């Protein structure tokens, strides 16, 4: 069973940085995407970024381009989301999620992700 565990959330001042981690285990197929999503109170869930296992290609929502960076450590089966220049509107519960992909397909934020972590709270406030 594929499992995802997020960590690294917390309280940070505007303009600050945080790094989220998503430890993944239980993959049964080599081609998959891992995405970061967030949900603020009374708002719909929003896709933030994703990374493809086969070639490391990445995708970002416009709202975080230039501020967030997704990366992976294959040896640790961990995906990171480095968040810089944080704004109060980045406040949300952040989830990592995974889905299996067909060979040659890159990840996207509009796909239905099948596996989800428990979420980690990020609060940006002075």
* 118 class by beta-carbon count within 10 Å (0-12 exposed, 13-18 middle, 19+ buried): exposed
pLDDT digits (tens, 9 = 90+) for 34-57: 999 999 999 999 999 999 998 999
β strands within 1-126, DSSP E? 3-7, 10-12, 18-25, 32-39, 46-52, 58-60, 68-73, 78-83, 92-100, 115-116, 120-124
- pLDDT confidence tier of residue 83, bands split at 50, 70 and 90: very high
Predicted confidence at residue 108, as pLDDT, reads 93
Predicted confidence at residue 39, as pLDDT, reads 98
Is pLDDT of 31 > 90?
Answer: yes
How many beta carbons lie within 10 A of that of residue 116, not counting itself?
15
Predicted confidence at residue 104, as pLDDT, reads 87
pLDDT digits (tens, 9 = 90+) for 103-126: 889 999 999 999 999 999 999 999
Is pLDDT of 79 > 90?
Answer: yes
| Beta-carbon contacts of residue 112 (< 8 Å; ≥ 6 apart) | 99
Name the β-bridge partners of 72. 79
CA atoms within 13 A on the CB side of 79: 28
Predicted confidence at residue 5, as pLDDT, reads 96
Q: Give the DSSP per-residue string, 27-49.
A: --SS-EEEEEEEE-TTS--EEEE
Structure tokens that stand for 16 in this block: 């600050």
For residue 63, give the 3-state DSSP assignment: coil
Is pLDDT of 78 > 90?
Answer: yes
Of residues 75 and 11, more confidently modeled: 11
């Amino acid at each position: 069973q594929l499992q995802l565990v997020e960590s690294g959330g917390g309280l940070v001042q505007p303009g600050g940085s945080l790094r989220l981690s998503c430890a993944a285990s239980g993959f049964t197929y080599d081609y998959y995407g891992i995405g970061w999503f967030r949900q603020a109170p009374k708002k719909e869930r929003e896709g933030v970024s994703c990374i493809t296992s086969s070639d490391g290609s990445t995708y970002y929502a416009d709202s975080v381009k230039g501020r967030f960076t997704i990366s992976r450590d294959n040896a640790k089966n961990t995906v990171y989301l480095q968040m810089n220049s944080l704004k109060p509107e980045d406040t949300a519960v952040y989830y990592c999620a995974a889905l299996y992909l067909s060979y040659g397909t890159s990840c996207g934020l509009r796909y239905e992700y099948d596996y989800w972590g428990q979420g980690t709270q990020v609060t940006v406030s002075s």
